[in-house]
Chains A and B, each alone.
Chain A
């Protein structure tokens, strides 16, 4: 083989090499290291030794299964809410945006130029017991109503309740839901809609039989990109949450930094990752999407 042909054959590998190396060294290997740490025993003073102590996993689960389940539940609720909020907005911009599509999208994404820690703290400020939200509720005399539907706790607070945490999660991850759905809707050929109306479909069935199925890959991507970060978040729970809203992310962070219990922390991280991956693949199966990887890798 000539030198230049060899070079051409190897070209893809040379191009891939630096990034691939970086990812292997700083992503793949650390994940394996974390796996090995999860079976170590020891403490900060005496050091940690590999002892193949797999019971750390069951111990971690028995201690914290409540937080795990809670995180998944919050994740599902927040994702569902995100979908409900995001789909109409994406539809509105894609089909009714007209000339202003890009401006509307831009307006939608604008708030996310600000650091999400600041945004979440702002919510903490707005939702405090004597803050803007509750003052308005009092002025509009709807506070009792809100308490009845449990949006506000019986002591008159929104902060430190699950409502605040889930609200924060929905707020912070909404763009992750809107954008994939928008991209999918945008690709729907308007000719198809015209064809369906020529065939006497009304608006509702045009939507349910044409638009919705075509947007499913986008919905799948949206669910993936929303559910995973939401279930593993801990910042919202720290800033907006209280004693009964602790998520598994908080526990992992505490185990790493306050308790220096690295094996338990590593084990919990693995359980979380496994749960999320299984959930994602199960969902992909259910949807029947072949191009799970393709759609999700966008």
Chain B
């Protein structure tokens, strides 16, 4: 999915508006109104989450507004298990990103560049992996671990996350690779560079946006994953698992630290995206000048 997001954003950048002529004007407000309503609807729960991270509620339930406070920000790490689960999520996501990006990039490069015996079935494998429902992926892996008697924990989560991330990275890189001019690599080969050097100095830098998009995608998917993780986690908790568990236990009270963490992760993501935009824009300006 995020291959699409990246591609969508790229296309948006490359195709600024072409329309100059305005024809009829009435009825034109309908479409933007719809668009903004949808965006508002999408943002509604986020705003609620952010706001209730500042709620000064007594007792257990963060349900009614009791006044503004920063105390949950101050005591962000007060709940040991929650902090551990967040740490697990972040460390797992980091490890998974590294492994899946490397494996997926190699795979994507090969599929994008070569037509070899078996490439059709590899494509089919990737399609099946992306199309298969998460619950089937998670359940199958659990059956596998149960049959082999492998205890579930941190590393089975890593295995599961890499398993579903490879396909996304591969597809992203493959698309990028297919759009690349092979002439550059040939030129580098003609100039005497071996395949490894060519890879590192010519291919990889040109693939970089695709690789980075894939890596970012993997990181986001891994941090947010619930279903596959819940099947293969054993007793290790990740952030989404902990939050889900908290909502189902303890009388249904989710501590405000969760809101705060959600807000901070959200803010961080926004920051990264904004920086990405700014850098991209600057690059385009520089490239076009």
Interchain CB contact under 8 A, B46 and A175: no
6 residue pairs A–B, Cβ–Cβ below 8 Å: A13-B116, A34-B140, A93-B12, A118-B49, A121-B243, A239-B247
Interface residues as binary, A152-183 with B (CB distance below 8 Å gives 1, 0 otherwise): 00000000000000000001001110011011
Beyond A23-B166, A115-B239, A252-B135, whether A105 also contacts B146 by CB under 8 A is no
How distant is the Cα of A273 from the Cα of B230 in the complex, in angstroms? 19
Given A27-B140, A101-B12, A107-B39, also A88-B31 (CB < 8 A) = yes
B binding-site residues for A, Cβ under 8 Å: 1, 3-5, 7-9, 11-13, 15-19, 23-24, 28, 31-32, 34-35, 38-39, 41-46, 48-49, 52, 63, 102-104, 106-107, 109-111, 113-114, 116, 118-119, 122-137, 139-144, 146-147, 159-160, 162-163, 166-167, 170-171, 175, 195, 220, 223-224, 226-227, 230-231, 239-240, 243-244, 247-248, 254, 258-259, 262, 265-266, 269-270, 273, 277
Which residues does chain A contribute within 8 Å of B110, judged by CB atoms?
11-13, 15-16
Total inter-chain residue pairs, C-beta < 8 Å: 282
* Bound CA span A208–B66, Å: 53
Return the chain B residue nearest A28 by Cβ.
B125
Provide the main secondary structure of the chain A interface: helix
Q: Does A89 contact B (CB under 8 A)?
A: yes
A119/B134 in contact, CB under 8 A: no
A105 vs B113: C-alpha distance in the bound complex, in angstroms?
30
Pick from B28, B39, B132, B175: contact of A273, CB under 8 Å: B132
Contact A125 B48, beta carbon cutoff 8 Å? yes
Chain B residues near A233 (CB-CB < 8 A): 135, 227
Which of chain A's residues have a CB closer than 8 A to the CB of B143? 30, 33-34, 37, 262, 266
Q: Which residue of B34, B147, B230 contacts A33 across the interface (Cβ within 8 Å)?
A: B147
Q: Which residues of B contact A123 (CB under 8 A)?
A: 45
Contact B3 A115 (CB under 8 A): no
CB distance from B228 to the nearest CB of A (A): 11
A212 contacts partner chain B, Cβ-Cβ < 8 Å:
no
Q: Which of A26, A97, A119 contacts B141 (CB 8 A)?
A: A26
User: Are B107 and A15 closer than 8 Å at their CB atoms?
Assistant: yes
9 A-B pairs with the lowest CB-CB distances in the bound complex, closest first: A122-B45, A232-B133, A113-B269, A30-B144, A101-B12, A15-B110, A19-B107, A98-B17, A30-B140
In the bound complex, CA of A246 to CA of B240 (Å): 21
A: interface residue count bin: 35 or more
Chain B residues near A249 (CB-CB < 8 A): 135, 227
Stretch at the interface among A61-69, A139-147, A222-230: A222-230
Are A26 and B135 also in contact (CB < 8 A) when A114-B49, A115-B224 are? no
Asked if A92 lies at the interface with its beta carbon under 8 angstroms from chain B, I say yes
Residues of A within 8 A of B231 (CB): 256
A214 contacts partner chain B, Cβ-Cβ < 8 Å: no
Q: Judging by beta carbons under 8 Å apart, are A111 and B42 in contact?
A: yes
Q: Which residues of B contact A209 (CB under 8 A)?
A: none
B38 in contact with A132 (CB, 8 Å): no
Give Cα distance in the complex from A37 to B145, angstroms. 12
Q: For A5, what are the chain B residues with a Cβ–Cβ distance below 8 Å?
A: none
Give the complex CA separation of A234 and B269 in angstroms.
26
A13 to B142, CA, bound (A): 29
Interface membership of A108, Cβ < 8 A: yes
* B31 to chain A: closest residue by CB: A92
For the complex with contacts A27-B128, A101-B13, A125-B52, 10 further pairs of A-B residues with Cβ separation under 8 Å are A11-B114, A34-B144, A96-B28, A109-B5, A115-B223, A118-B258, A126-B45, A179-B5, A262-B146, A272-B136
Of B137, B144, B175, chain A has the most CB atoms within 10 Å of the CB of B144
> Would A174 and B227 be within 8 Å (CB), given that A30-B140, A34-B140 are in contact?
no
Residue of B nearest to A40 (CB): B147
Interface status of A297 (Cβ within 8 A of chain B): yes
Question: Which one, A85, A102, A125, A174, contacts B13 given CB within 8 A?
Answer: A102
Q: Which residue of chain A has the shortest Cβ distance to B13 in the bound complex?
A: A102
Residues in chain B near residue A262, CB distance under 8 A: 143, 146
Q: Residues of B contacting A54 with CB < 8 Å?
A: none
B46 touches A106 (CB 8 A): no
Q: Which residues of A contact B129 (CB under 8 A)?
A: 23, 27
Partner of B247, one of A13, A37, A121, A174: A121
Instruction: Say which residue of B130, B140, B262 sits within 8 Å of A114 (CB atoms).
Output: B262
Q: Which of A1-38 contact B (CB under 8 A)?
A: 7-8, 11-13, 15-16, 18-20, 22-23, 26-31, 33-34, 36-37
Chain A residues, CB < 8 A from B159 = 26
List of A residues within 8 angstroms of B13 by Cβ: 101-102
Instruction: Encode A251-286 as 1/0 by CB contact (under 8 A) with B.
Output: 011001000001001100110110011001000000
B136/A235 in contact, CB under 8 A: no
Q: Is A296 a contact partner of B35 (Cβ separation < 8 A)?
A: no
Q: B31 and A183: CB pair below 8 A?
A: no
- Chain B residues within an 8 Å CB radius of A272: 133, 135-136
For B144, what are the chain A residues with a Cβ–Cβ distance below 8 Å?
A: 26, 29-30, 33-34
